Chain A
Amino acid sequence: MKLDYLKTFKNCLDEHAELRLQQNSTVSLALVNGSLVRNEKNTSSGISSRVYKNGFFGFASSPKTDEKTVKDIINKSKENAIMLANLEKRNKSQLSGENFEVIKDFSTKKPRVSRKAKLDFLKKLHEYTAKTYKDLKSDTFVINNLDMEKNLLTSFGASGFTMIPRTLLVISLSIEKDGNTYNSYDVFGGLGQYEDYFDNPEEFYEKIDKVYTKVKEKSEGVYPEAGYKDVIMDSKLAGILAHEAIGHTTEADMVKSGSVAKDYFGEKVASDLINLVDFAYEYNNQVCPMPVYIDDEGTRPEDAVIIENGILKRYMNNKDLSRDLNDKPTGNARAYDFSDEPLVRMRNTAILPGDDKLEDMIASIEDGYYLTKPSNGQADSTSEFMFGVPNGYEIKNGKLGRAIKDTTISGVAFDVLKTVSMVSDEMTWSNAGMCGKKQVIPVGMGGPAIKCKINIGGR
């Protein structure tokens, strides 16, 4: 086992150090209008070492993992930490750590299938689409798989082997109307490998039908009226709201810098109906989309309850920043590639469900919008956020109306959350989130539908 190999270097970790042996393996196939435009595998693997000295980090990495290289990398990271400490001439006490071991492997239990079988699966989806929907301008089917295999050893004795795979199928359809092209897409899959989700193409025909309905509706839809409106954000939007709007401002590095969340600690920042948690690996005894059982500093992760009944309770942190914030580490230090250093990152961030029924929520709005799907999103230090909204409907007199064309919503999170007046009793997870912050990293996002007031772009 690679972890056993890693442990042979335990005696070399004479400073506060982390040693990580990691392999990210991705397979990506893309079929555009029946043509295979991408068919590739990428394996990124190697060793990295990070050393902490007097308040400074030194880091080094190499794709080579032989004994000499590993020792050189440990020494180089140590040299870097010492060099920075000497250049800066400051001193801060050392950090502490736990001694425990974690082994978690989410590899599929099913027999592995060939690349050809995956291609055949995509071709069947295309054939069904081309045969059923003659008016489409373009159809794209993409399979992306990421197997993230990490082995970690710290100078405190924490060690772990985790294999966390994620496999996604993207169905994207385009249609032309009045000289304009409209697109709609959906993403399926999540934690696991290809075999765990995609053995039968026929199960996805109905999902293709739904994406077609959405793009057709959108092409015939209306622009929303720009302004401050009553909206129902469906569960998929509540998840990205949890992540973008609140999550980022409550990451300890943002807080230390002075994000607006720093000013509101212990204060009421949302309606009483709002509870927001960054889950480490489980919610309601179910494994979350991106479980973290040991973080990349060797901390045993715990759930971070960020907002409880509307009160801002906690930030997400790492070892160094937890000390600055007088807290204990939450286990949010995560790195994407072997050559990346751990940063404070979210794991599975969710707004918890309430008691309301979605149909009652829609019925309660006289003039507003029901927003069903987010695309990209971005947060701000002020907690002002935005997300793209590719699909949604008008609500007129409590009833769903016409579909809307692509738009964007925005607001100041801590203001918007105070306007939340209803929270649905159903919660769903989005399994496809990728968060960008120096490095990209897969995250889980979840939530119920919520009713609030928000700024919507349009004409």
Chain B
Amino acid sequence: MELLDKCINLLKEKGADKSEVYLTKEIKQEMNIHSGELKLLRTLEEYNLEMTAIIDNKKDTIKLSDIDEKSIEEAVSEVIHNAKNSQPDEANDISDVILEKDFQDKEVDMDINMMHKRLHNFISKVETDYRDLVIEEAILVYNDKYDYYANSNGVKLSSNSDNYSFFIMFFAKKENKTSSFNYTFTCTKDLEKELLELGALSDLLEQSIEHLEPKNLETKKITGEVIITPDCMNEMLSFLLTHLQSHYLISNISKFQGKLNEQVLDDKLTLKTEPDSEVLANKSYFARDGIVNKNDYIIKEGVLKNYLLDLYGSKKTGYERGPSTGVNLVMENGDKTYDEMINSIEKGIILSRFSGGEPAPNGDFSGVAKNSYYVEDGKIKYPIKETMVSGNLFEMLENIVAISKERVNNGVTLLPYVKFKDVTISSK
């Protein structure tokens, strides 16, 4: 905090009317598997200092990783010079929610031997139980993150949280048959569990092996139902969130412009942001605008409860600053089991990974259904290949068929399976 106070004083001395400083310090220990072999041990200590100066409503921001005295002094002079020559905007402001607070997550210790043990057990288990599986890349990281924020209004926030994260990319290979790759990310507080027990990993590995022999759809084009898995739902939701965040709302191209407290999506859908969640390993106590994040509804039974604006977006649009900018998503579960959702499909697919073009602002999307299955008369028939899905994401979210009781917790999101209708599914 001393460094931040020093920066704030320097910015004031050089002429800033208002200023804010955000410093992150991250210590990482990372073990990497490449092409099935444990190959790299990596140690990082990273700093990122972000300083913002506002002069006559004109703003500039500078970020630097080298935080020695000389670098900071040069950066202060530069940010002041550029702020003076920037464009005035009354929305340029800093937080006036005066608060001094330190947030501390439960600490875990980095245990390099346990990291090695878990990775080794994982490789061994894959070799015995998933014989045709290839671990293309796997990264187990211990992250210890410190965040500090201060501004010229007197706001002072700090936090420390640590956890382990695991990213893996894999596919199956048998003789000259190769499956599509798949990947998943999980974040966990400690390494008490084996890696295979995290998220939906064991199911995903199994799916890849089943995809050694996928088929084209027998009917070239159908309009059917689609169950989107939690891993895939995560990607679909990121598009929904763009319409609730600053860029789209400032640009006036959001689907949800002026729709607060209106029924905008199906009433089965309840989506929350839980930056300080009881159930997720990841924590995000405050944001870069110096405002404390809070757990709250984004969508409640289909009604839009909050935008996910930062302070600038809030001032620019006139809407309230969001409970967060869209971190740690939790979707409420539904009343059907995953099996019941499959059983009621006449014709459709289970979409496990979507490889597609960015959806258009109107929600139209199309892309390839990867690691996915064809379902007919309530039964999973076969893994599919070279199959495209297309539809309109907003129309789908306005007409949800069912949401599963089961949810997958990957430490950053807690999401169920969601079933939609009237999706175009076409094959070569």
Contact = CB atoms under 8 A, between A and B. Distances in A.
A81 B250 contact: no
Interface string B253-291: 101000000000000000000000000000000000000
Contacts of A45: 64-66
Contacts of B360: 181-183, 390, 405-406
A260 interface: yes
B253 A138 contact: yes
A407 interface: yes
A351 to B, nearest CB: 21
A257 B169 CA distance: 11
Contact of B64 (A43, A56, A76): A43
B366 to A, nearest CB: 3
Interface string B158-187: 000000000000010100101111000000
Q: Which of B137, B179, B360, B424 has the most CB of A within 10 A?
A: B360
A226 B75 CA distance: 53
B300 to A, nearest CB: 25
Interface residues of A, number: 85
Given A32-B250, A60-B43, A387-B357, A256 B35 contact: yes
Given A381-B178, A381-B180, A174 B355 contact: no
A100 B343 CA distance: 66
A390 B357 contact: yes
A151 B107 CA distance: 38
Nearest to A92: B37
A182 B178 CA distance: 38
Interface stretch (A104-112, A113-121, A191-199, A354-362): A113-121
A457 B64 contact: no
A180 B362 contact: yes
A59 B361 CA distance: 42
Contacts of A55: 39
Given A43-B63, A253-B35, A457-B366, A258 B173 contact: yes
B43 A458 contact: no
B67 A63 contact: yes
B178 A33 contact: no
Contacts of B370: 380, 384
A389 B178 CA distance: 27
Interface in B68-125: 68, 75, 78, 82, 85-87, 89, 91, 112, 116
A44 B388 contact: no
Interface string A104-148: 000000000011100100010000000000000110100000000
Interface string A154-177: 000000000000000000001000
A151 B179 CA distance: 40
A84 to B, nearest CB: 4
Contact of A35 (B42, B89, B116, B253): B89
Nearest to A139: B251
Contact of A63 (B62, B65, B365): B65
A380 B362 CA distance: 28
A382 interface: yes
A40 B52 CA distance: 9
A39 B386 contact: no
Nearest to B255: A181
Interface stretch (A206-214, A276-284, A408-416, A444-452): A408-416
A416 to B, nearest CB: 11
A187 interface: no
A457 B388 CA distance: 6
B178 A406 contact: no
A59 B362 CA distance: 45
B30 to A, nearest CB: 8
Contacts of A305: none
Contacts of B86: 36, 39, 115-116, 119
B390 interface: yes
B111 to A, nearest CB: 13
Contact of A44 (B42, B65, B136, B220): B65
Interface in A389-422: 389-390, 405-408, 410-412
A306 interface: no
Contacts of B48: 44
Interface residues of B, number: 81
Contacts of B42: 58-60, 80, 341
A223 B358 CA distance: 16
A410 B252 contact: no
A81 B41 contact: yes
A181 B253 contact: yes
B34 interface: yes
Contact of B386 (A43, A388, A410, A456): A410
Contacts of A257: 35-36, 134-136, 171, 173
A390 B358 CA distance: 9
Contacts of A410: 355, 367-368, 386, 388
Contact of B424 (A32, A389, A406, A459): A459
A135 B44 CA distance: 50
A138 B252 contact: yes
A149 B68 CA distance: 20
A428 interface: no
B180 A455 contact: no
Interface string B353-384: 00111111110111110100000000000000
B14 interface: no
Interface of B: 31, 34-36, 38-48, 59-68, 75, 78, 82, 85-87, 89, 91, 112, 116, 134-137, 139, 171, 173, 176, 178-181, 220-221, 246-247, 250-253, 255, 312, 316, 355-362, 364-368, 370, 385-386, 388-390, 424, 426-428
Interface of A: 32-33, 35-37, 39-46, 55-65, 76-77, 80-81, 83-84, 87-88, 114-116, 119, 123, 137-138, 140, 174, 180-183, 223, 226-228, 253-254, 256-260, 263, 338-339, 341, 375-376, 378, 380-382, 384, 386-390, 405-408, 410-412, 438, 455-459
A-B residue pairs, 9 tightest by C-beta: A388-B357, A457-B366, A180-B362, A116-B85, A258-B173, A40-B61, A42-B63, A80-B41, A181-B361
